[in-house]
Amino acid sequence: MQISDYIDDLVRATGFLSRLPMPARHFQGHDGSLSRASGMAPMAGIVIALCPGLVALLLSAADANAALTAILCLMVLIGVTGALHEDGLADCADALGARGGRDKMLDIMKDSRIGTYGVLALLLSFSLRAVALTVILSVAGGWGAFFVLLAVASASRAAMVWHWNTLPSARSNGVAAAVGAPEEGAATLALVSGTVVFVALVTFAAGIVAALFGLALLAAAARQWTTMVRSRLGGHTGDTIGATQQISETVCLTTLALLL
């Protein structure tokens, strides 16, 4: 692959995973597949996290309240992604929390309405991330939070690609099936790049011990979630892929906050 191919993949992955405007020339003649571009998902995570990361830097420099800064960072992050992954988390919580078989759970995921389990999942995820970011901002400062946000955004999207690659598609006509499964080379690239970026940035911000513990718990959470999805649904959907990102991000930020 040439450098231009990696740039194309980064733009396509960022365009799919966010609402950031991307140059149209990178999509001309493209069939919409993410099989190769999924390998750049961790790098797309860095691009996405730059916006909330800069908010953390600017507000910290202005000596703003850490809790308010954390909430504003999450608001910007959700705005950039269009709540894409939060939607997946809520749909999965409603589906897996309901009583019924596989077909019923898949039908619930397709329903645009949100139920009690979905609301609770979103509240817990947002609350844990907000409190964790508050702690990180208070202890590690603006630059520490900046690097942690980039690191977690990258690693959680690597976990997302791993989940996507590990399981077959649960539907033949879903969004995940439509864009194609990750190529083996793309899945490997995502895992390696996400791991390297995470360890390097978190080590710089909080030390090697925090980096290794954070990575270990992120991996354990993604693996446990994937095992549950395999058992209950038999394969992934776009919602379970998005939920993987949210679960990984929440667990990792919480772990790092506890270790600081």
- Tens-binned pLDDT, residue by residue, of the chain (260 aa): 778 778 989 999 999 999 999 888 778 777 678 888 899 999 999 999 999 999 999 999 999 999 999 999 999 999 999 999 999 999 999 999 887 788 899 989 988 889 999 999 999 999 999 999 999 999 999 999 999 999 999 999 999 999 999 999 988 776 666 677 788 899 999 999 999 999 999 999 999 999 999 999 999 999 999 999 999 999 999 999 999 999 999 999 999 999 98
Residue type, 64: A
Global pTM reads 0.94
pLDDT at 23: 87
Read off the tokens for 244: 């993987």
**Among 7, 75, 96, residue whose Cα is nearest residue 44:** 7
* pLDDT at residue 25, rounded to an integer: 78
What is the rounded distance in angstroms from the CA atom of residue 114 to the CA atom of residue 93?
A: 10
pLDDT of residue 177: 65
pLDDT at residue 145, rounded to an integer:
97
For position 174, what pLDDT does the model report?
66
pLDDT of residue 167: 95
The phi, psi pair for 173, rounded to 5°, reads: -130, 20
Question: Mapping DSSP to helix (H, G, I), strand (E, B) and coil, where does residue 169 land?
Answer: strand
Closest CA to 37 of 57, 64, 14: 14
- Token digits for 7? 């740039």
SS3 167: coil
